[in-house]
Amino acid sequence: MLSAGPLEAERLAARRGMVTLFSDVALFAREGECIVVAGPNGSGKTTLLRMLAGLTQPEDGQIRWRQRAVRPFDPQLRDAVAFNGHHPALKDELTAEENLASWVTLDDAAPAQRQVVEALDWVALGRQRRLPVRVLSQGQRRRIGLARLRLVARPLWILDEPLTALDVDGIDLLRELLERHLDAGGLCVAASHQPLPVSAARERPLTLGVAAVR
């Protein structure tokens, strides 16, 4: 695992149209810690995560990664981030195996086919690996996302509602992944309505309020 620096942010503010989603949000996470963002629907959890991933420009405030201020699409941030958003970024036309191999190739280098098969076996999709993603369920699609996290070495994970559509076994897989990632010195920021499978010692809760209409 790459040495992971702290992720810091201060005075973060987000606005969507006329609505101020949040303002003056500060956060800090060092190696092995996981920030769990909670808050009601529409409180700006996804927006905050997209800011930290470097997709969205904050209305105000600053984000620092390894003590360096980063702007959206900062190359250092792009080297570090694994972003699991609402959409699993899978192509219906390609098989599970092709989808996974394609993303891992883009992130790092072309993986050995054995690694891809192993990762799919691990998320219990070994038998479905040759099927087009079109026929897979939502939960199975999320599992391909988990397999990708397992194959790609990134210090900063940003997970938007990682529990969505996952069954009990799937949540166990996520627990195992997160434990290994945080033990190895990785960082994680996750938004979730349900409690995340992370040990309390590693968890740093962050609660966003209700959006205030300006």
Partner 1 sequence: MSTVIETRAMEAPGAEDDARRSVLAAFGWSLARDVRIALRSRAELGVQLLFYVIVVSLFPLAASPSREFLNTIGPGVLWTAALLASLLSLPRLFAADFADGTLEQIALSPRPLPALVSGKIAAHWLTTGLPVALMAPLLGVQYALEPSVLGTLMLALLIGTPILSLLGAVGAALTLGARGGGSLLALLVLPLYVPALIFGAGAVDAVRAGMSAGAHLSLLGAGLLLALVAVPFAVSSAVRIALD
Which residues of this chain interact with partner 1, rule CB under 8 A? 53-57, 72-73, 75, 78-79, 81, 83, 85-91, 93-94, 98, 102-103, 105-107, 132
Structure tokens at 187: 């960082």
Taking the complex as a whole, how short is the minimal distance between the CB of residue 32 and partner 1, in angstroms?
23
Q: Report the nearest approach of partner 1 to the CB of residue 40 (Å).
A: 24
111 phi/psi in degrees, rounded to 5 = -80, 155
Q: Which of 39, 44, 38, 51 is nearest to 10 (CA)?
A: 51
C-beta of 43 vs 47, nearer to partner 1: 47
Bridge partner residues of 36 (DSSP): 190, 205
State in angstroms the smallest separation of the CB of 72 from partner 1.
Answer: 7
Closest to partner 1 by CB, 54 vs 170, is 54
CB 144 within 8 A of CB 103: no
Closest CA to 151 of 186, 81, 104: 104
The least distance separating partner 1 from the CB of residue 195, rounded to whole angstroms, comes to 25
Between residues 30 and 71, which has the closer beta carbon with respect to partner 1?
71
